[in-house]
Structure 1
Amino acid sequence: MTTLENRKNNLLQSFKEVPQNIGKIFAVARQMGFSGVAKAAYNDLFVGRSLFQWLYLIVLSSVPIVLHFTSGSNDWMGLFTAWTGNLCVILVAEGRASNYLFGFLSNVVYFALSFQNMFYGEVMTAIFFIVMQPVGLYFWLADRVKGEKKEEPQVSEFATRKLNFFGWIKWLCFTVLVWGTFGLIYQSIGAARPFRDSITDGTNWTGQFLQSYLYREQWVFWIATNLFSIYLWWMGPDSGNLQMAAMYFVWTINSIVGWYQWSKAVKERKGA
């Protein structure tokens, strides 16, 4: 059997497993009941943090609030997007599935802000993220309910993975493909800087897929996205939104922390 046929069969098998995994997720939810699900959600969001992790969460999530009131800003949409976005990425770094709730809320408002500023790339990225939040949540929950010993998922239990050489090549090619495709799309609709606007499409799409599949290398693409977005919102020709620039600065710090935490989880998994 050829490599192409193997990939085709693996893809078909993955699609066949979707309804089965969804069924398992709902079966576990029914078994736990409403109170059990609520307790699991509470545990995922609040339980299992050290004092340092709580301080880290509070300090980084407070940055947009402090900026909002010290700068006299009236941009409440920017504040909400930055605050929920900060919570989302911190929860991703901790491996908590509740990140997808805050990610959804943040990207809905971010879509409106990006559309208002005519950042075509950011608009498309926001739409992609809105769609991918339930998809990512499915992958994380499906990973946790696999196996008889995982019928009641523990707090922040996630099996981190590491890309091999060919995995890197595949996802770098995917990034370039998305960047070029959206650059041509933006060019066709008259965007002034089509291939600049599409940079974050490439890095964000790859980062989100790697996050959904629990690969630690997502953080490399998040860092690239964050650094360019700081330029876009703060130093670029269409800049001026301090809240968005500060949000991406916080995300850059968190991405470095996330890389460290997920790399540690990969080593621990190998040593288990």
Structure 2
Amino acid sequence: MNKNQFKIFREAIKQTFSIKKIFEELSTLHIQEYLLLFLMTIAQVISFLFTKDASVLVLILSISSIINLVLVDRGRITNYFWGSITTTAWVIIAIHTRLIGDIASQTFYLIMQFLGIYIWGKELRATTKHEVQSKKLTTFQALIYFVGTILLYFMIVIISKKLGGVQIWLDAALFPLAIVGQILMTFGYRSQWVAWNIINIINIIIWYNQFMVNGTSISLSMLMLQIVMFLNSIYGSIIWLKKSKSYTI
């Protein structure tokens, strides 16, 4: 990283973790986003209050994740502040539940938060707009991502079997999709939402199965969170599609 790149990264870090910037970006959301944020937060709080032995860590994860998602929808850089909190908490929970794919994907998300801060900071620095703009993939780029995802998926399946993971065939899909989704998000491609929607559907199935097997409050809270995240990813898909000039993925 040269001197100019370091300067861009330092400025982006300051913006991302600035208390003033965090509240400023939260205060400029649209009314429908405030409503979405309110409903999703209330759902998680109710789940926490009415679940025996509820985990405060899951509640923190849930609320930070919800705020993170709404800010990603709008292309706001402070989403990475909330994303850092979310991924750290999620790694801890994934270790506790022995979901190998989740551990790998959330660790990757955590590392990518800082690359994302740099890339988004660089893009926002070069424009007068306050939001990262939506871009589209070429057909060749989409093909490369698809093939890479399939190859990595089968590698994770093999590793998960050796490590004694659970729900391997579903769980193994999370990491390759996480890589694709996070890279596309980092560079501002709207096709990220294909990965996020698939991930959220898989996570709903995984956490439903976890709840049916062990019936723990963590599993129930995580299931509720996944449903909320899926609804938000649909909203995010619509927002980024509208921001894009073309309707071609």
TM-score normalised by the chain length of structure 2: 0.86
Tell me the residue number matched to 1:170: 144
Matched, 1:45 2:26: yes
Tell me the residue number matched to 1:264: 242
Tell me the residue number matched to 2:41: 61
Distance in 1 (alpha carbons) for counterparts of 2:27 and 2:77: 12
- Write out per-residue CA displacement over residues 157-204 of structure 1, whole angstroms, 9 at most, x where no aligned residue: 212101121121111112112212222222333435544321111111
- Write out per-residue CA displacement over residues 222-261 of structure 1, whole angstroms, 9 at most, x where no aligned residue: 0100011011111357564111111111111111111110
Tell me the residue number matched to 2:5: 21
Gaps of 5+ in 1: 1-15
- Secondary structure of the equivalent of 1:267? coil
- Write out per-residue CA displacement over residues 81-119 of structure 1, whole angstroms, 9 at most, x where no aligned residue: 111111111111111111111111111111111111111
Distance in 2 (alpha carbons) for counterparts of 1:90 and 1:29: 20
AA matched with 1:243: S
Distance 1:142 1:52, change over 3 A: same
AA matched with 2:162: S
After TM superposition, give the deviation of residue 208 of structure 1 in Å: 0.6
Q: Does the Cα contact within 8 Å between 1:206 and 1:221 map onto a contact in 2?
A: yes
Tell me the residue number matched to 1:214: 188
Within a 5 Å distance, the mapping from 1:115-154 to structure 2 comes to 115-146=95-126, 150=127, 154=129
Aligned CA-pair RMSD? 2.5
- Secondary structure of the equivalent of 1:158? coil
Distance 1:194 1:260, change over 3 A: same
Which moves more between the two structures, 53-62 or 127-136? 53-62
Distance in 2 (alpha carbons) for counterparts of 1:239 and 1:91: 33
Tell me the residue number matched to 1:196: 170
AA matched with 1:232: I
Q: Does the Cα contact within 8 Å between 1:22 and 1:142 map onto a contact in 2?
A: no
After TM superposition, give the deviation of residue 211 of structure 1 in Å: 0.4
Equivalences, count = 240
Tell me the residue number matched to 2:227: 249
After TM superposition, give the deviation of residue 219 of structure 1 in Å: 0.7
Q: Does the Cα contact within 8 Å between 2:193 and 2:237 map onto a contact in 1?
A: yes
TM-score normalised by the chain length of structure 1: 0.79
Distance in 1 (alpha carbons) for counterparts of 2:50 and 2:67: 21
AA matched with 1:267: K
